[in-house]
Amino acid sequence: MGFRQAYESWLSDSYFDEETKNELRSIKDDEAEIEDRFYKELEFGTGGLRGVLGAGTNRMNVYTVRKATQGLANYIKKKGGQDKGVAISYDSRRMSPEFADVAALCLNANGIKAYVSDTLRPVPQLSFAVRKYGCIAGIMITASHNPPEYNGYKCYWEDGAQVTSPMDVEIIDEVRSVEKFSDALTMELSEAKEKGLYIPFGRELDDEYTEELKKLIIHPEVIREVAGDLKIVYTPFHGAGNVPVRRILQELGFQNVYIVPEQEEPDPDFTTLAYPNPEDPKAFELALKLAKEKDADIVMATDPDADRLGIYAKDAKTGEYIGFTGNMSGMLIAEYRIRELAALGRLPKNGALIKTIVSSNLADPIAEDYGLKLIEVLTGFKYIGEQIKWFEEKPDQFPYEYVFGYEESYGCLVGTHARDKDGVAAVMCLAEVAAFCKKQGITVWDQMINIYNKYGYFKEGIHTLTLKGIDGAEQIKAIMEKIRQNPPKAFGELTVKEFRDYKKGPEVTGLPVSNVLYFDLSNQSWCCVRPSGTEPKIKFYMGVKGSSLKDAEEKLEALKKEVIAMA
């Protein structure tokens, strides 16, 4: 069926509501818009759905969400897991509560219980809920840090992590096998509640989650000692982090926590932000203004679904606030926890530090220094969650104990209460790091420099090309193939020591098949290319090691120019 035919079928089919049809009638003269909405079905990928909100097969709407959920329900029934139920949560985006209910009622109509959050809650709490309620799966309605016109649907399995191979492909096949939108089942909310299929959850989950986080604190006595002096600015970027972050910091005793008032309340339009992403320095404008007013020691922000954390820390010498990359904040938490656990004799002898292949190589010497097993996985936090599962389920094959896991895109996990990145726990742990630094008479930035001085000045960067629509997808594919077929032998003065094409699979790379190209370069440098799994982007990652901050910055800039030229 062509895109115009698909468009006309939505207008004529009584299954689609009048509001949807009116939206479609409003674009009747815009051929390009009709094509973009109907040239394909919104793809249910390895992480679920993500797309622009609106009517059409290539949009996030109640129909695409229900159809995807029917495929998931079919898979759950094939696996015999329908009695376990599914946990569902959502963030502050447009249509998030509605999509949560659409998914729940589709599951209910298939005889599957749904445990549904009674208000917005972040990704880590959804992961925690899957495990607490003994569910077979979980659904998180979120588009993470995407612009406000997006929403999405992340799929989790019973271990609390996002689904991995081969399950992800099997679920995709089930979703694709639901041929018609009208094949997706649903039922009335009142009936679902009456039958005990729709089960709201709330405060009791918050209480248990908060208690689990408190167990992760290493030095509560230090927090109590400096809590009256340390000043923290926090912003939830209008998202789901506000309540759990404020609660955990308050219960730990931090007395000077200042919330950015303009970004405190949920706002699906993210009115104060062009892009609700802690990677974007412009997103910190209001937080940094407040930090200067309060003379804050540290500034922290979580993205709308509160799985990622961005920070700025004050440089005592200049009085300026310095932004940290996800690699820097991840390593700051990791180094602190590993060092202090070792000092207390609590660091596991078989401990493992896990990172993704595009994350900082600063992890390598830290792991070596403390005798930890360093494990590299593909990009995507689900692969870190998968490692934790293997540690627990296959101890003979994977004889390790989880210590810390992180990825360059501002996500990490302390503890195993959840199996996805946890921005709430990351805020808590960085607040503890800041307290520890305060007691030592240094700043968080001073401590970052101490780490560099000890292990080397590792610095990383990323270059992203956004290429939207049909033509953009083809361009991304063409760029990947061009590099794959003719990989460079050098990047300026840096020679290629090894080129790895992860499409060749585990026999060649030791990791699952993935559309990723990696260049191991001389002088402990590297670069990597991959299409984004959730956005119309191709990403170029790179890293260097320098003899000083300035030297590392210069080396990174030189490598970046060469990498951009490759595209």
Catalytic residues: 144
Task: Count Cβ neighbours within 10 Å for each residue of 83-110 and write b for 16 or more, e otherwise.
Answer: ebbbbbbbbbbbbbbebbbbbbbbbbbb
Q: Is 282 exposed, middle or buried (0-12, 13-18, 19+ CB in 10 A)?
A: exposed
**Could you say which DSSP state residue 60 is in?**
B
**Which of 480, 458, 454 has its CA nearest to residue 467?**
480
- Phi and psi for 209 in degrees, rounded to 5? -60, -45
Tokens 């922290």 -> residue: 300
User: Residues near 394 by Cβ (< 8 Å), separated by ≥ 6?
Assistant: none
DSSP per residue, 358-407: TS-TTHHHHHHHTTPEEEEE-SSTHHHHHHHHHHHH-TTTS--EEEEEEE
Contact between 270 and 238 under an 8 Å Cβ cutoff? The reply is yes
Give the SS3 label for residue 313: strand
Instruction: For residues 86 and 93, give the distance between their C-alpha atoms in angstroms, rounded to a whole number.
Output: 21
Instruction: For residues 347 and 413, give the distance between their C-alpha atoms in angstroms, rounded to a whole number.
Output: 16
**Could you say which DSSP state residue 307 is in?**
-
